[in-house]
Structure 1
């Protein structure tokens, strides 16, 4: 079976430091929101040893408080599932969203321990006033090596929300589409839920390969 976990989603969220210092998040500014949320997350990581040690409860709390309010993870999951999303019941959709989110948290929580003094450079943000879907582009310097890191956001009545991330040219949604589709084709919607659930159980018990 092809490797299911392709993109270090939470490495993208946690393993760099931004330059923003404001504590108030302006969700009406795509690039400003990314810079501010990034700084708040990095400050939280550096100030909490349990997060640095990969404590799942502490990591989940940080994600729920600092990141999820500015993301649309249901949209991320829906796009990753493609047309299969419509075949799932509302209960199944919710289960998949929750298991997928926990999968990413558990898989990449160890990346938090790697937060050091990485530097990030934001590329000039270009968008028209009437745009409803934009990309904020950046480059992270990690031990002297540049890492491309971009965020795709869309406009909602509550402000801009992140729904996809690009690391080194690979977008998160695109990377998971094939894996989700293969699981559903072979085992159905319930099979995907079972796969994600079992994988989370393996990661929780430390038995994942």
Structure 2
């Protein structure tokens, strides 16, 4: 159940965060709605993605999502207190591997993204706010609506996503217990090796689908 709910998140991340450079000054909710509707049209009309082309879905996520996320912040949140146990070189590797894990694990959900519609909730934001919550509701044909909330922070180069909450569950901190267990059993290097192994296995599955 948890994995199914989280699988809804990344496609929507791709949709809400495929932000052209000139749109960085947009209010977060305006940006989310405008770009979501634009990219939804692309996904629904891409025959390759609709037919299950995971490799193309991954390429879409790589191109549209990665520049608009603060993966350093996301990885630190996922590791919790264990983040401070990592040295600078380890942190760099952890960020790369966690980013790859998220993209490879959930990009295949794009292939199932067809007839969902999205309701956008009013944004509660003060002019000086540097962190905001953009709330949306995904309406699924034949299923219950799913609440998906996006935590964004204002950086020098625009708004960046640092967490997503799907049906009340944080996408990022959902990994914390697993990561903590890996660190306890094998240290930070053990966690890195575990992430690398998972990513390699995922890449092999994608290659097999060619």
User: Given the two structures, how large is their TM-score scaled by the length of structure 1?
Assistant: 0.83
Q: Residue 184 and residue 16 in structure 1: after superposition, are their counterparts in 2 closer, same or farther (change >3 A)?
A: closer
Partner of 2:23, secondary structure, is coil
Partner of 2:108, secondary structure, is helix
For 2:130 and 2:121, locate their aligned partners in 1 and report how far apart those are by CA, in whole Å: 19
Quote the residue 2:69 is aligned against.
71
Deviation at 1:71, TM superposition (A): 1.6
> Do the aligned partners of 2:13 and 2:65 also contact (CA within 8 Å) in 1?
no
For 1:9 and 1:37, locate their aligned partners in 2 and report how far apart those are by CA, in whole Å: 21
Q: Which has the higher helix share?
A: 2
Deviations 1:71-112 (A, max 9, x none): 212211111112222222222212212221222222223211
Quote the residue 1:172 is aligned against.
171
Q: CA RMSD in A?
A: 2.9
Which sits farther off after the overlay, 108-117 or 157-166? Answer: 108-117
> Do the aligned partners of 2:79 and 2:176 also contact (CA within 8 Å) in 1?
yes
> Do the aligned partners of 1:25 and 1:33 also contact (CA within 8 Å) in 2?
no
Partner of 1:61, secondary structure, is helix
Which sits farther off after the overlay, 43-52 or 186-195? Answer: 43-52
Deviations 1:102-131 (A, max 9, x none): 222222232112111111001111111111
User: Given the two structures, how large is their TM-score scaled by the length of structure 2?
Assistant: 0.82
For 2:111 and 2:87, locate their aligned partners in 1 and report how far apart those are by CA, in whole Å: 38
Aligned with residue 45 of structure 1, among 26, 31, 43: 43
Structure 2 portions without partners, runs of 5+: none
Q: Residue 185 and residue 168 in structure 1: after superposition, are their counterparts in 2 closer, same or farther (change >3 A)?
A: same
Aligned with residue 30 of structure 1, among 22, 28, 31: 28
Aligned ranges 1:47-196 → 2 under 5 Å: 47-144=45-142, 145-196=144-195
Structure 1 portions without partners, runs of 5+: none
